[in-house]
């Protein structure tokens, strides 16, 4: 029996070619030239993830058989005893995705084919149309339509809106202020305007970004029902998921949830009780391809579709992993797409491309993506303190971002 291919080294690659700090894991094997890539991007705590990989996972993984993906995932999750947190999950994800990449390369097959083969040739994507006012949002949405996109998320003024007539207390601290009630009125007016402008054939989406009190989220979901959204995203925070029962009882607005989820108990209830329509975890946040595969199968049993998280703080490697899952599972809904820069394509050869609103894979084995490490090194991660997550209500009290 031939000797197994083992993990010879685990390398962390940090890079920031755009606004988001990215963490890529490179698992190097005992077979010359064979390695795999995975996404471990938790951009707001990027250095904590890097330390978890380098100081804890790497020593634990050296010498292990690369084929034993299930064993490695499960043992990595419990090895630190405390589990289901975003730093550890992202660290494990980077290794997990890299091992799937390696297995595909060894087999000469894509990850999609390893999982069971294609259910579709390409994946529908949605893009983000923002704007300073409703007219600009509609204009940007029409521009995307001309490029062939048929699923468009509409926002105005970023998350939480902008321009509310806000009176702050004296000596109010600095922060990203927003008024939830003004946001509700403003967004309803914007969505009504955009729907009138683009017609019924285009699928519109909107992201609340968990910024509303639960009862106001229920009210907002009822109010947008008439606009026939493809889905309303993150109407509630993970801490408030029991409120989805109230939304479900009162309206038929399709609901998507999950990008902040870490723990299986957060998604199991929503799926089993059919309280949402789309499950949309951040693949690295939940621990990688292995748990995402399991969730997709579980959700399919209850008629719930997937819409994996795919903003710019999912790395190009993570987007490649998303696409492999999208192509495979039958209950795919739509994929969020961040529209990579030319630099992204230079640093990450094999990054999937969009044509007429569909995201297409290439014919390469594994995840089908690589990294130009010398070019990535020219764009080091910046030491920054996030501003947009320092969110406040009009009276200055902290709020969810």
Contact 5, 28 (CB under 8 A): no
Q: How far apart are CA 302 and CA 276, in angstroms?
A: 10
Contact 310, 322 (CB under 8 A): yes
Q: Which residue has 């309206």 as its token pair?
A: 251
Which residues on neighbouring strands pair with residue 11, listed in sequence order? 26
When computed from its CA atoms, the radius of gyration of the chain, rounded to whole angstroms, is 21
Number of neighbouring beta carbons within 10 Å of residue 337: 23
Q: Say which of 35, 126, 149, 159 is annotated catalytic.
A: 159
Active site residue 360: no
Active site residue 159: yes
Q: Are strands 255-257 and 231-233 parallel, antiparallel or unpaired?
A: parallel
Contact 6, 63 (CB under 8 A): yes
Contact 95, 56 (CB under 8 A): no
Number of neighbouring beta carbons within 10 Å of residue 64: 17
Q: What angle do CA 400, 169, 387 make, to 5 degrees?
A: 35
Q: Say which of 128, 206, 209, 309 is annotated catalytic.
A: 209
Containing 358, the helix (H) or strand (E) segment is strand 358-360
CA torsion angle 135 140 145 151 (round to 10)? -90
Q: How far apart are CA 148 and CA 401, in angstroms?
A: 31
| DSSP assignments along 240-305, one per residue | GGGGHHHHHHH----EEE-TT--SHHHHHHHHHTT--SEE---HHHHTSHHHHHHHHHHHHTTT-E
The catalytic residue positions are 159, 209
């Amino acid at each position: 029996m031939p000797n197994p291919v083992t993990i010879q080294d685990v390398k962390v690659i940090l890079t920031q070619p755009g606004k988001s700090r990215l963490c890529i894991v490179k698992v190097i094997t005992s077979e010359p030239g064979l390695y795999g890539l995975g996404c471990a991007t938790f951009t707001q705590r990027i250095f904590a993830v890097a330390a978890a990989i380098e100081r804890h996972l790497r020593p634990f993984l050296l010498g292990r058989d690369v084929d034993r993906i299930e064993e490695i995932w499960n043992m990595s999750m419990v090895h630190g005893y405390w589990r289901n947190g975003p730093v550890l999950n992202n660290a494990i994800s980077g290794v997990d995705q890299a091992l799937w990449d390696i297995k595909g390369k060894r087999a000469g097959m894509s990850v999609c084919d390893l999982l069971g083969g294609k259910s579709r040739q390409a994946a529908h994507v949605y893009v983000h149309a923002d704007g300073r006012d409703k007219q600009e949002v509609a204009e940007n949405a029409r521009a995307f339509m001309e490029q062939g996109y048929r699923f468009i998320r509409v926002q105005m003024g970023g998350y939480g809106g902008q321009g509310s007539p806000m009176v702050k207390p004296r000596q109010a601290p600095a922060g990203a202020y927003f008024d939830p009630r003004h946001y509700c009125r403003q967004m309803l007016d914007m969505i009504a305007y955009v729907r009138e402008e683009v017609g019924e054939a285009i699928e519109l989406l909107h992201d609340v970004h968990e910024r509303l009190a639960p009862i106001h989220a229920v009210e907002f979901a009822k109010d947008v029902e008439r606009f026939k959204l493809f889905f309303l995203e993150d109407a509630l925070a993970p801490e408030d998921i029991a409120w989805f029962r109230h939304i479900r009882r009162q309206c038929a607005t399709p609901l998507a949830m999950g990008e902040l989820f870490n723990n299986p108990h957060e998604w199991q209830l929503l799926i089993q009780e059919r309280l949402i329509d789309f499950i949309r975890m951040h693949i690295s946040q939940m621990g990688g391809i292995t748990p995402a595969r399991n969730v997709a199968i579980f959700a399919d049993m209850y008629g719930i579709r997937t819409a994996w998280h795919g903003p710019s703080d999912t790395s190009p490697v993570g987007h490649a992993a998303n696409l492999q899952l999208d192509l495979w599972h039958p209950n795919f809904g739509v994929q969020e797409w961040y529209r990579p820069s030319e630099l992204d394509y230079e640093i990450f050869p094999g990054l999937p491309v969009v044509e007429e609103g569909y995201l297409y894979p290439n014919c390469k084995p594994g995840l089908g993506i690589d990294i130009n490490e010398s070019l990535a090194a020219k764009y080091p991660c910046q030491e920054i303190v996030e501003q947009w997550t320092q969110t406040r209500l009009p009276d200055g009290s902290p709020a969810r971002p």
